[in-house]
Protein backbone atom coordinates (compact mmCIF):
# COMPACT_ATOMS: atom_id res chain seq x y z
CA UNK A 1 0.00 0.00 0.00
CA UNK A 2 2.73 2.43 1.07
CA UNK A 3 4.74 1.51 -2.03
CA UNK A 4 1.77 2.12 -4.25
CA UNK A 5 1.15 5.53 -2.70
CA UNK A 6 4.81 6.46 -3.11
CA UNK A 7 4.76 5.36 -6.75
CA UNK A 8 1.58 7.33 -7.37
CA UNK A 9 3.06 10.39 -5.72
CA UNK A 10 6.21 10.11 -7.81
CA UNK A 11 4.10 9.80 -10.94
CA UNK A 12 2.11 12.91 -10.00
CA UNK A 13 5.32 14.80 -9.39
CA UNK A 14 6.68 13.76 -12.78
CA UNK A 15 3.49 14.94 -14.49
CA UNK A 16 3.67 18.25 -12.61
CA UNK A 17 7.32 18.67 -13.55
CA UNK A 18 6.61 18.01 -17.22
CA UNK A 19 3.79 20.55 -17.23
CA UNK A 20 6.09 23.10 -15.65
CA UNK A 21 8.87 22.31 -18.09
CA UNK A 22 6.44 22.92 -20.95
CA UNK A 23 5.28 26.18 -19.38
CA UNK A 24 8.82 27.37 -18.84
CA UNK A 25 9.81 26.40 -22.39
CA UNK A 26 6.90 28.50 -23.67
CA UNK A 27 7.93 31.41 -21.44
CA UNK A 28 11.52 31.13 -22.67
CA UNK A 29 10.28 31.17 -26.25
CA UNK A 30 8.25 34.33 -25.66
CA UNK A 31 11.12 35.87 -23.74
CA UNK A 32 13.66 35.17 -26.46
CA UNK A 33 11.25 36.62 -29.02
CA UNK A 34 10.90 39.75 -26.88
CA UNK A 35 14.65 39.97 -26.50
CA UNK A 36 15.35 39.50 -30.21
CA UNK A 37 12.83 42.22 -31.12
CA UNK A 38 14.10 44.58 -28.45
CA UNK A 39 17.66 43.99 -29.61
CA UNK A 40 16.66 44.73 -33.21
CA UNK A 41 14.91 47.96 -32.14
CA UNK A 42 17.96 48.94 -30.10
CA UNK A 43 20.27 48.27 -33.08
CA UNK A 44 18.11 50.35 -35.40
CA UNK A 45 17.80 53.24 -33.01
CA UNK A 46 21.48 54.26 -33.48
CA UNK A 47 21.42 54.83 -37.26
CA UNK A 48 17.93 56.38 -36.93
CA UNK A 49 19.33 58.95 -34.49
CA UNK A 50 22.11 59.75 -36.96
CA UNK A 51 19.63 60.26 -39.79
CA UNK A 52 17.51 62.55 -37.61
CA UNK A 53 20.57 64.54 -36.55
CA UNK A 54 21.66 64.98 -40.18
CA UNK A 55 18.14 66.05 -41.13
CA UNK A 56 18.00 68.61 -38.31
CA UNK A 57 21.37 69.98 -39.41
CA UNK A 58 20.12 70.46 -42.95
CA UNK A 59 16.87 72.04 -41.72
CA UNK A 60 18.93 74.60 -39.82
CA UNK A 61 20.85 75.47 -42.96
CA UNK A 62 17.52 76.33 -44.56
CA UNK A 63 17.68 77.57 -48.15
CA UNK A 64 21.37 76.67 -48.54
CA UNK A 65 20.70 72.98 -48.15
CA UNK A 66 20.19 70.73 -51.15
CA UNK A 67 16.40 70.18 -51.35
CA UNK A 68 16.82 66.69 -52.85
CA UNK A 69 19.03 65.64 -49.95
CA UNK A 70 16.60 67.16 -47.45
CA UNK A 71 13.76 65.27 -49.04
CA UNK A 72 15.73 62.00 -49.03
CA UNK A 73 16.64 62.36 -45.38
CA UNK A 74 13.07 63.23 -44.43
CA UNK A 75 11.89 60.14 -46.24
CA UNK A 76 14.53 57.93 -44.59
CA UNK A 77 13.63 59.27 -41.13
CA UNK A 78 9.90 58.74 -41.70
CA UNK A 79 10.18 55.18 -43.07
CA UNK A 80 12.68 54.26 -40.36
CA UNK A 81 10.34 55.56 -37.67
CA UNK A 82 7.42 53.59 -39.12
CA UNK A 83 9.54 50.43 -39.21
CA UNK A 84 10.53 50.94 -35.56
CA UNK A 85 6.91 51.45 -34.54
CA UNK A 86 5.91 48.26 -36.37
CA UNK A 87 8.62 46.32 -34.56
CA UNK A 88 7.55 47.79 -31.20
CA UNK A 89 4.00 46.65 -31.83
CA UNK A 90 5.26 43.10 -32.44
CA UNK A 91 6.97 42.76 -29.05
CA UNK A 92 4.79 40.24 -27.18
CA UNK A 93 3.37 41.50 -23.90
CA UNK A 94 4.27 39.81 -20.59
CA UNK A 95 1.21 37.69 -19.73
CA UNK A 96 -0.54 38.88 -16.55
CA UNK A 97 -0.14 36.66 -13.52
CA UNK A 98 -1.65 36.89 -10.07
CA UNK A 99 0.54 36.91 -6.97
CA UNK A 100 0.07 33.86 -4.74
CA UNK A 101 1.91 32.48 -1.68
CA UNK A 102 5.09 30.88 -2.98
CA UNK A 103 7.40 28.45 -1.22
CA UNK A 104 10.83 29.68 -2.33
CA UNK A 105 12.57 26.41 -1.42
CA UNK A 106 10.23 24.46 -3.63
CA UNK A 107 10.51 27.01 -6.43
CA UNK A 108 14.32 26.84 -6.35
CA UNK A 109 14.19 23.05 -6.37
CA UNK A 110 12.06 23.26 -9.50
CA UNK A 111 14.53 25.63 -11.15
CA UNK A 112 17.41 23.25 -10.31
CA UNK A 113 15.40 20.40 -11.78
CA UNK A 114 14.92 22.44 -14.95
CA UNK A 115 18.70 23.06 -15.13
CA UNK A 116 19.51 19.42 -14.38
CA UNK A 117 20.74 18.52 -17.87
CA UNK A 118 23.17 21.41 -17.94
CA UNK A 119 24.36 20.79 -14.38
CA UNK A 120 25.05 17.12 -15.13
CA UNK A 121 26.69 17.82 -18.49
CA UNK A 122 29.09 20.31 -16.92
CA UNK A 123 29.81 18.12 -13.89
CA UNK A 124 28.76 20.97 -11.60
CA UNK A 125 28.55 20.18 -7.90
CA UNK A 126 25.38 21.65 -6.44
CA UNK A 127 25.45 22.58 -2.79
CA UNK A 128 21.78 23.16 -1.99
CA UNK A 129 21.13 24.43 1.53
CA UNK A 130 17.46 25.24 2.01
CA UNK A 131 16.32 26.70 5.33
CA UNK A 132 14.24 24.00 7.09
CA UNK A 133 11.40 26.46 7.69
CA UNK A 134 10.74 29.25 5.27
CA UNK A 135 7.69 31.54 5.29
CA UNK A 136 5.80 31.81 2.01
CA UNK A 137 6.43 34.88 -0.13
CA UNK A 138 3.54 36.44 -2.01
CA UNK A 139 4.78 36.54 -5.56
CA UNK A 140 4.16 35.84 -9.21
CA UNK A 141 5.65 32.36 -9.25
CA UNK A 142 6.58 32.04 -12.91
CA UNK A 143 8.22 35.47 -12.94
CA UNK A 144 10.30 34.44 -9.91
CA UNK A 145 11.13 31.08 -11.47
CA UNK A 146 12.32 32.86 -14.63
CA UNK A 147 14.38 35.27 -12.54
CA UNK A 148 16.22 32.56 -10.59
CA UNK A 149 16.77 30.67 -13.83
CA UNK A 150 18.53 33.74 -15.26
CA UNK A 151 20.83 33.94 -12.24
CA UNK A 152 21.64 30.23 -12.35
CA UNK A 153 22.16 30.29 -16.14
CA UNK A 154 24.58 33.19 -15.69
CA UNK A 155 26.43 31.25 -12.97
CA UNK A 156 26.71 28.23 -15.29
CA UNK A 157 27.84 30.44 -18.21
CA UNK A 158 30.50 31.95 -15.95
CA UNK A 159 31.75 28.54 -14.85
CA UNK A 160 31.80 27.35 -18.49
CA UNK A 161 34.24 30.14 -19.23
CA UNK A 162 36.47 29.14 -16.31
CA UNK A 163 37.27 25.55 -17.12
CA UNK A 164 40.15 24.98 -14.75
CA UNK A 165 38.26 25.76 -11.57
CA UNK A 166 36.09 23.26 -9.70
CA UNK A 167 32.52 23.99 -10.70
CA UNK A 168 30.38 24.55 -7.68
CA UNK A 169 26.98 26.16 -7.44
CA UNK A 170 25.88 26.98 -3.90
CA UNK A 171 22.34 28.01 -3.12
CA UNK A 172 21.27 28.90 0.40
CA UNK A 173 17.92 30.14 1.66
CA UNK A 174 17.24 31.77 5.01
CA UNK A 175 14.79 34.03 6.77
CA UNK A 176 16.23 37.44 7.49
CA UNK A 177 13.96 39.76 9.48
CA UNK A 178 10.89 40.25 7.33
CA UNK A 179 12.47 38.86 4.18
CA UNK A 180 13.46 35.59 2.60
CA UNK A 181 17.10 35.61 1.56
CA UNK A 182 18.46 33.57 -1.33
CA UNK A 183 22.22 33.48 -1.80
CA UNK A 184 23.62 32.10 -5.05
CA UNK A 185 27.35 31.54 -5.37
CA UNK A 186 29.42 30.22 -8.24
CA UNK A 187 33.09 29.50 -8.83
CA UNK A 188 33.32 31.41 -12.11
CA UNK A 189 35.62 34.38 -12.81
CA UNK A 190 33.32 36.86 -11.00
CA UNK A 191 32.53 40.38 -12.19
CA UNK A 192 35.31 43.00 -12.46
CA UNK A 193 34.68 45.82 -9.98
CA UNK A 194 34.38 48.48 -12.71
CA UNK A 195 31.59 46.45 -14.37
CA UNK A 196 29.50 45.77 -11.26
CA UNK A 197 27.00 48.50 -12.13
CA UNK A 198 27.09 48.17 -15.88
CA UNK A 199 26.04 44.51 -15.90
CA UNK A 200 22.45 45.55 -15.06
CA UNK A 201 22.21 47.77 -18.14
CA UNK A 202 19.97 46.36 -20.84
CA UNK A 203 22.06 44.98 -23.72
CA UNK A 204 25.27 44.93 -21.71
CA UNK A 205 26.99 41.58 -22.24
CA UNK A 206 30.54 40.27 -22.16
CA UNK A 207 29.55 37.02 -23.85
CA UNK A 208 30.31 36.40 -27.50
CA UNK A 209 27.50 34.07 -28.56
CA UNK A 210 24.70 35.85 -30.39
CA UNK A 211 22.16 34.16 -28.11
CA UNK A 212 23.38 36.29 -25.19
CA UNK A 213 21.90 39.72 -25.69
CA UNK A 214 22.49 41.14 -22.22
CA UNK A 215 18.90 41.39 -21.04
CA UNK A 216 19.08 38.76 -18.28
CA UNK A 217 20.06 40.93 -15.35
CA UNK A 218 17.81 43.77 -16.53
CA UNK A 219 14.92 41.30 -16.26
CA UNK A 220 16.16 40.06 -12.87
CA UNK A 221 16.21 43.65 -11.59
CA UNK A 222 12.71 44.25 -12.93
CA UNK A 223 11.28 41.18 -11.16
CA UNK A 224 13.07 42.03 -7.89
CA UNK A 225 11.65 45.57 -8.09
CA UNK A 226 8.16 44.21 -8.71
CA UNK A 227 8.54 42.24 -5.47
CA UNK A 228 9.85 45.33 -3.64
CA UNK A 229 12.94 43.23 -3.00
CA UNK A 230 16.64 43.83 -3.32
CA UNK A 231 19.48 42.21 -5.20
CA UNK A 232 23.13 42.72 -4.35
CA UNK A 233 26.41 41.44 -5.66
CA UNK A 234 28.88 40.90 -2.84
CA UNK A 235 31.86 43.15 -3.75
CA UNK A 236 34.16 41.38 -1.27
CA UNK A 237 33.60 37.90 -2.62
CA UNK A 238 36.45 37.01 -4.96
CA UNK A 239 36.06 33.26 -5.44
CA UNK A 240 33.43 33.85 -8.14
CA UNK A 241 30.09 35.60 -7.86
CA UNK A 242 27.88 35.83 -4.81
CA UNK A 243 24.40 37.20 -5.33
CA UNK A 244 21.91 37.85 -2.59
CA UNK A 245 18.25 38.29 -3.36
CA UNK A 246 16.01 39.57 -0.57
CA UNK A 247 12.27 39.13 -0.99
CA UNK A 248 9.87 40.71 1.51
CA UNK A 249 7.43 38.20 2.97
CA UNK A 250 4.61 40.72 3.01
CA UNK A 251 3.98 42.21 -0.35
CA UNK A 252 1.37 44.78 -1.28
CA UNK A 253 0.25 44.25 -4.81
CA UNK A 254 -0.58 47.64 -6.25
CA UNK A 255 -0.94 46.67 -9.89
N1 LIG B 1 27.58 34.78 -12.24
C2 LIG B 1 28.27 35.62 -13.02
N3 LIG B 1 29.63 35.55 -13.09
C4 LIG B 1 30.34 36.38 -13.86
N5 LIG B 1 29.79 37.36 -14.63
C6 LIG B 1 28.46 37.49 -14.61
C7 LIG B 1 27.62 36.64 -13.81
N8 LIG B 1 26.34 37.02 -13.99
C9 LIG B 1 26.37 38.04 -14.86
N10 LIG B 1 27.62 38.33 -15.25
C11 LIG B 1 28.04 39.39 -16.19
O12 LIG B 1 26.93 40.24 -16.44
C13 LIG B 1 26.70 40.35 -17.84
C14 LIG B 1 25.22 40.59 -18.09
O15 LIG B 1 24.44 39.45 -17.75
P16 LIG B 1 23.01 39.27 -18.40
O17 LIG B 1 22.26 40.55 -18.24
O18 LIG B 1 22.38 38.03 -17.85
O19 LIG B 1 23.31 39.11 -19.94
P20 LIG B 1 23.94 37.89 -20.77
O21 LIG B 1 23.86 36.65 -19.91
O22 LIG B 1 23.07 37.81 -21.99
O23 LIG B 1 25.35 38.30 -21.06
C24 LIG B 1 27.25 39.05 -18.42
O25 LIG B 1 27.57 39.20 -19.79
C26 LIG B 1 28.47 38.82 -17.53
O27 LIG B 1 29.56 39.61 -17.97
MG1 LIG C 1 22.26 36.06 -18.70
User: What pLDDT digit, counting tens, does each position of 100-142 carry?
Assistant: 999 999 999 999 988 999 999 999 999 999 999 999 999 999 8
Looking at all shown ligands, the one closest to residue 211's CA atom is 1
User: pLDDT tens-digit profile of 211-245?
Assistant: 788 989 999 999 999 999 999 999 999 899 999 99
pLDDT for 251 equals 58
163 has a pLDDT exceeding 80: no
Parse the chain into domains and list their residue ranges. Answer: 1-95, 100-248
Average pLDDT of span 184-213: 91
Query: For residue 12, how far is its CA from the centre of ligand 1 (angstroms)?
Result: 36
Average pLDDT of span 186-215: 90
159 ligand 1 Cβ < 6 A: no
- Percent composition of the chain: helix, strand, coil (DSSP 3-state, to 5): 55, 15, 30
Looking at all shown ligands, the one closest to residue 210's CA atom is 1
Query: For residue 206, how far is its CA from the centre of ligand 1 (angstroms)?
Result: 7
CA distance 145 to 151: 10
Nearest CA to ligand 1 atom 9: 154
Query: For residue 129, how far is its CA from the centre of ligand 1 (angstroms)?
Result: 24
Q: Tell which atom from ligand 1 comes closest to the C-alpha of 155.
A: 1
200 has a pLDDT exceeding 60: yes
250 has a pLDDT exceeding 90: no
Strand partners, 172: 129, 183
- Integer CA distances (angstroms), 128 to 109, 230, 238, 246, in order: 9, 21, 20, 17
Q: Tell which atom from ligand 1 comes closest to the C-alpha of 212.
A: 22
Nearest CA to ligand 1 atom 18: 216
pLDDT for 35 equals 82
255 has a pLDDT exceeding 60: no
Taking alpha carbons only, the member of 80, 82, 57, 83 closest to residue 69 is 57
Q: Which CATH architecture has domain 100-248?
A: 2-Layer Sandwich (3.30)
CA distance 246 to 223: 12
CA 221 to chain centre: 8
How buried is residue 252: exposed, middle or buried, by Cβ count under 10 Å (0-12/13-18/19+)?
A: exposed
Q: What is the DSSP letter of 247?
A: E
154 ligand 1 Cβ < 6 A: yes
Taking alpha carbons only, the member of 143, 169, 144 closest to residue 158 is 169
CA distance 31 to 213: 12
Amino acid sequence: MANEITALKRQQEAVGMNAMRALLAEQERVRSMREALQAAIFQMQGPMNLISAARDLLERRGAQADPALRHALNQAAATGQTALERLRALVPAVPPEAATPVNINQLLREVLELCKQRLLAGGTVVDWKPAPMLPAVTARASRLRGMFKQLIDNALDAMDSNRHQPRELRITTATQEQTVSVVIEDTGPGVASDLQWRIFEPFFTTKRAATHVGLGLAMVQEVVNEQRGMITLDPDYDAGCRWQVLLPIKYEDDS
